[in-house]
Amino acid sequence: MKKLAFIAFIMILLLPLLTACQSQAEAPMPIAAGTYTLGTHNFTAPDDLFATPGGITYAANVFGVNSSGETEPNPWPPVESVTTTLWGGLDTITVEYRAHIESPAGQIRNNIFWITRATRFENNNLVLYQSAKPDGIELTWAAGGGLPGTLMAILMINISPQVLPGEYMFRIIIEIDGQQYDSVPCTINVIE
């Protein structure tokens, strides 16, 4: 009986410490605002950004025409995105983005987030948060233009040259007009 009382006493003392550490690790961190760069026709990566009449897209998803009027070959396969629905209180949003990105260290990768909702956005105040901060991977984001009724954010992922090969996972939390929605997972697979 004394052993059980002692164990219960220790648990009562440790419980606040354990829950404090857990809530601190899970607290979302705002992602710093930055600026993105639109490419010209001298693309170096498939996810370089390119402006089209429908909005900004990836270089790999654009087929251009050179000054002679000939179609330029696209050296990359299309950049694939996933679409998911997120719950946020009384409504939902649909988010299209890249859930998995593969890259060598020392690169900057772009991840375009297209966000739509059945009802209009009130003030279009968009903020992105991250659930964890992998060492050596810095995130910044910037808002961009898109089709009417659509919000767009570009997440720039700066992978330090010192990052070792492996998978680095975090979650992106979306906040619109003060309403936080569920998060989406993002995995960066750093390759050699």
**59 — pLDDT class (breaks 50, 70, 90):** confident
Considering the four listed CATH numbers 2.60.40.10, 2.170.190.11, 2.60.40.420, 1.10.3720.10, the one that applies to the domain covering 30-191 is 2.60.40.10
Average per-residue pLDDT for the chain: 83
Q: Tell how far CA 2 is from the center of its chain.
A: 52
Residue 186 bridge partners (DSSP) = 170
Residue with tokens 């964890």: 132
Sort strands 32-33 and 137-144 into parallel, antiparallel or unpaired: parallel
**pLDDT band, very low/low/confident/very high, at 16 (cuts 50, 70, 90):** very low
How far, in Å, are 39, 120, 183 from residue 52 at the CA level? Answer: 11, 23, 28
pLDDT band with cut points at 50, 70 and 90 for residue 135: very high
Give the span between the Cα atoms of 163 and 109, in whole angstroms.
14
Per-residue model confidence (pLDDT) at position 181:
94
Q: Which sign, positive or negative, has the C-alpha torsion 184, 95, 51, 119? A: negative
Residue (of 117, 123, 114, 120) closest to 184 by Cα position: 114
**Buried (b) or exposed (e) across 144-161, using 16+ Cβ within 10 A?**
bebeeebbbbbbbbebee
